[in-house]
Amino acid sequence: MSPKIATEHFLSYTEGTPGGLYCIAQGGYPIPTFNLQVGSRIIWDAKTAVRVTRLGNVTGMKVLYHTTFYWVANFVATPQNDGEVVRCSVSISGKHVSQIERNISVLYAPLIRCDDYEPTAYLNDKNVFITCHIKSKPALNELYWVVDDLGTKVHETKPHDVFWVLIEVR
């Protein structure tokens, strides 16, 4: 008998926080073989498989129900995992392969990357342009530059002294 795959929709993670990543196969005999993949990477570490067999009643006969649980208890998602596909494939020797895919959503702190040039400014220069790219999930709710050792913040909507910021959101 070929396995039928059931999965839960708990594929939302927070960066750096361990979470479960699992697959459940209902049916299948002998015990199915699992392949759990995130993106192009096969997950081998700390995986556990547990087989549960239950005796059920159907009018006039007894039926065995097999369920196999397969999981990674401490999957730690990174921002690079956001949007990747998790694929659980289950097979039984001599039978077809059943598989299911789900997308991963990862909440992560802002990643800031500034262009690879050294901005220079001389005394009394009026304009200095620094281009930075910021990616985060959820989206930023505040963006500012700190312009001195006192921690003075310059927001786009709140210029400070001679400092002001032009921010383009793309």
Distances (CA, A) of 49 to 69, 93, 135, 148: 5, 17, 37, 56
In this structure, the number of other CB atoms found within 10 A of the CB of residue 97 comes to 14
**What local confidence, expressed as pLDDT, does residue 167 receive?**
61
DSSP label at residue 31: P
Mean pLDDT of all residues in 133-158: 80
Q: How far apart are CA 109 and CA 104, in angstroms?
A: 16
Same domain, 16 and 62: yes
pTM, 2 dp: 0.68
Same domain, 28 and 71: yes
In a domain, residue 170? The reply is no
pLDDT-wise least confident of 3-7, 58-62, 137-141: 3-7
Q: How many structural domains compose the chain?
A: 2
Q: Answer whether residue 161 shows pLDDT above 70.
A: no
In a domain, residue 119? The reply is yes
Q: In 3-state terms, what secondary structure has residue 76?
A: strand
Same domain, 118 and 50: no
Q: Which domain range does residue 114 map to?
A: 109-155
The 10s digit of each residue's pLDDT in 49-88 is 788 888 887 777 888 888 888 888 888 999 999 999 999 8
Same domain, 30 and 83: yes
Residues in the chain: 170
Work out the mean pLDDT of the chain and round it to a whole number: 79
Same domain, 96 and 146: no
Report yes or no: 32 and 125 within 8 Å, Cβ to Cβ: no
Same domain, 27 and 82: yes
